[in-house]
Structure formats: C-alpha cells, structure tokens
Homo-oligomer: A and B are copies of this chain.
C-alpha cells in the first residue's frame, strides 16, 4: 500500500496545449515509483462552462477540495503566459484553502521559448506561500516545447529523466517530513 498521494496538475485549458506532453511525461515517470500514488489531473475537468466562475462553490470545486485534502503534496505542470500563470490555473487554486496547508509543491514549467517557464514558477511560489505550502527546488523546465518532444511523443533529451528524479526525491523528502508532523 502506498502511504503518500501526490497528484500532478496540468495547469492550462488552452486548446492544443503543448504542456500536456510535459505533464504526461512527468506522470508516466512518477507512476513508476512504488513509494507514492499519483494521478494526472486536468484543470479543464474542474473549470467547465458551468463551474469556471471564480470563488463559486460547486460540484467541481468540492471535488478539488477533496483531492487536495487527501493529497500529501502536489506537482503543477504549467506553461508561462506573458511571464505569469494561466488564469484558469489561478481560478482553480483559489477554489480551495486550508486543504493545502503544510504540504510541498513542485513545479514543472513549460515554454515555447528558451526559458522554460522560469518566471511563472516565481509567481506561483508567492501564491502557494500564502496557502502555507512549501515551494521546493529543483523545478524542471521544459523550454522549446514544440521540438522537445518528437512526433511519437517521446522526449528528445534524455537528461529529463534524471532531472525529474531529483525533483521527485526532494518532493518526497518534504512530503514525508510534513506528513509525519501534520
């Protein structure tokens, strides 16, 4: 039985979003671990036409709260739009509150250009602090997303497995430490 539950959230609802490749790759790798249970969550499923309105309680926001209450941490995979976070990601984050407290969050940034989302991670670090989460290092950055994955959906740079493993190790250290203390 797995002790830790750490879902992965894809933070953009944009049509033809390329970040989905990074999210699926991260999820595939994280799923191989025997010491953690994970699940790929999609911001689209929580912000449908009926539920996107900010700060409104509804079935979808209740489901989000339940998942975060059960979670021992979170990985957010998100593109950077105009140096900030997707609005729909922020609407979803704002739909829960105390459920996040005393848990770690790790970030995977995605960008079309060469910086891989370094700036959106900085802005989200400020947000999650107010939720009493710890924003861990390292992050993993996926720049040049249009060419980083090949036609078959496979990543073209083998260094990413090692980078994500380092992120996972550190995330699990924090998740374990804080679960023991909560």
Are B13's CB and A53's CB within 8 A? yes
Chain A contributes a number of interface residues (CB within 8 A of B) equal to: 52
Residue in A87, A93, A94, A131 with the greatest tally of chain B CB atoms within 10 Å: A87
User: For A178, what are the chain B residues with a Cβ–Cβ distance below 8 Å?
Assistant: 177
Query: Nearest chain B CB to A177's CB is how many angstroms away?
Result: 3
A84-102, CB < 8 A from B: 84-94, 102
Q: Mark A114-133, 1 if CB is under 8 A from B, else 0.
A: 11101100110111011110
Interface contacts beyond A123-B126, A180-B180: sample of 15 additional A-B pairs, CB < 8 Å, sorted by A: A12-B54, A14-B54, A54-B86, A81-B94, A83-B130, A86-B87, A114-B143, A115-B115, A118-B118, A123-B123, A125-B125, A125-B126, A132-B137, A176-B181, A180-B181
Binding site for B on A (CB under 8 A): 12-15, 49, 52-56, 81-94, 102, 114-116, 118-119, 122-123, 125-127, 129-132, 134-137, 141, 143, 170, 173, 176-178, 180-181
